[in-house]
Amino acid sequence: MLARHDWITPTLGGKPWLEKPALYYWQAMAAYRIFGVSDWAARLPSALDASLMVVAVYLFLRRFRPGFHLDGALMTASAAGVIGFARAASTDMPLAATFTMALLMWYAWHEGGNKAYLAGFYIFLGLGMLAKGPVAPILAAIIILIFAGAKGDYQLIRRTLWLPGILLFCVAGLPWYLAVQMRNPEFFRVFILEHNLARFRTDLYHHSEPFWYYLPVMLLGLLPWTMFVVEALIESVRGWWAERRDMLRSEDGLSAFLAIWLIVPVVFFSMSTSKLPGYIVPAIPAGTLLLAEYLRRHSADTQRLRTLPVLLHAIVASLPIVPALMLQYLVFQHRLPWGRAAIISMAFATGLAIGLVVTLHRQFGLRMLRFVTLVPVVLALSAALRIGTPALDATLSARPLVIEINKLDSHRLPLAILGLSRETQYGLQFYRNQDIYRYELGQVPATEHLVIAPEGWQIKVATWTAGRRVTYLGSFAPQGLDYYWVAGKSGN
């Protein structure tokens, strides 16, 4: 989260904060100026970008694959990863939206030949670079290269490298980079070398996860459509393997392109040492688009509706209702209590799954997939928001933590953290509207200040403050945090 008073280059600890590019910050500051500074204004850019991405999916399918364009848009909007990151004040959704629109523009040019689409591809790719750095053009280049290689059409690469488009990309993406580099000579080293290359090669920011980490993340991000997306992906790969380049030259080439788009980010970021769930949000629209194309091709083929995948889909779509209804237990106790409430919730979800199977499989076929799946999605989301919001707010948001600290801090002392996540750091920075110092980076204020750390870390706080007096002030139990007053150095 960015501080309220920052504009182009937010500051942290008195120095330019160069971790993220500009797009999200411009959007957020515009929202602040129009609607005032608030939680929802900070999240508005992500919600708006997600909405634009859904509209782009709808328009693309309506123009090039009519019939299931509304389904494709609704499936994209209801994917768990899109719902989650559309509510987050982060750069992941701006990147996903601009990247999705760029690739849709590219394929529209590839199939229709209109250079206006190719121009749009370069413009949105430039905006994607503004959203989160060079990852957008790098991923786009890999996807297009693999697709051209699979087609055996290497002239496609040469035609894509269109000089007017490259100039549009530079106009859209480079001026901010040049301006920040001139203002902050450390920008290239900090942003490009550390926050991109070093983060990819090393565990610089302590986000190490196993190689297979993104497989379950992607499966969860595609909920409730996971089962049919997997089936659509398997069918696409089998079709390409059986027909090779003939399929890629036909209308079915879109399925191969979407399959490549879905797989490449997962493989690419799996090779990264540092892993966070938001990295593969740009791949989620490829999965829902692939499913929309699958449904369009098989909408009239009711014989293809095998009971097992339909049943698995119904279970996957309905089971989130159980944790949604019992979200408070999961948040505070980190377990699902087995008892009457759990049995009732599971019975309700199971009955709904059976109803989905009967409705989808025996009466309406694939054309009802959107409707019967969105029913449990809406129910689960409504239950989570209605029942679980207070628990989520207490355990995940920095707002209640800041309220407790402000009761003790009448002098607005500097605030530091030790051992806290970056999400908590950004939340504190937003709600306190001040720079937050991090002990691990050597940012230990010389003056008296407050410090927040995990429960029981008083000795570690004392170690970092080199013998200065440390006084325990209290704790915030829902998040397992303690806060302390630290005396200033002698003479401060």
Per-residue confidence (pLDDT) for residue 7, from 0 to 100: 33
Average predicted confidence (pLDDT) for the chain: 79
Burial class of residue 77 in the structure, from the number of CB atoms within 10 Å of its CB (0-12 exposed, 13-18 middle, 19+ buried)? buried
Rg (C-alpha) for the chain, rounded Å, is: 25
| pLDDT tens sequence across 80-132 | 899 888 888 778 899 999 999 999 999 999 988 899 999 999 999 999 988 88
CB of 434 closer than 8 Å to CB of 411: no
Q: Of 98, 89, 183, 169, which is closest to residue 132 (Cα–Cα)?
A: 98
pLDDT digits (tens, 9 = 90+) for 143-160: 999 999 888 888 999 999
Dihedral over Cα of 238, 242, 245, 246: its sign: negative
- Residue 19 pLDDT > 50: no
Instruction: Show the beta-strand stretches assigned E in 196-272.
Output: none
Q: Kind of pairing, strands 436-438 and 415-417?
A: parallel
pLDDT value at position 35? Answer: 86
Residue 429 has pLDDT above 90, yes or no: no
Overall average pLDDT of the 225-234 stretch: 88
Most confident of 334-343, 390-399, 418-427: 418-427
**Alpha carbon 55 to chain centroid, angstroms:** 18
Query: What element of type H or E holds 471?
Result: strand 470-476
The residue ranking higher by pLDDT, 340 or 234, is 234
Average pLDDT of the segment spanning 311-334:
67
pTM, rounded to two decimals:
0.80
Q: CA-based diameter of the chain, in Å? A: 83
Handedness of CA 209, 211, 216, 219 (dihedral sign): positive
Tens digits of per-residue pLDDT, 447-487? 889 999 999 898 888 888 887 889 999 888 888 899 999 99
Report the pLDDT value the prediction gives residue 245, as an integer from 0 to 100: 53
Q: At what angle do helices 92-112 and 115-132 cross, to 10 degrees?
A: 160
User: Which residues, 6 or more positions from 21, have their beta carbon under 8 angstroms from its beta carbon?
Assistant: 91, 129, 130, 131, 132, 133, 176, 177, 191
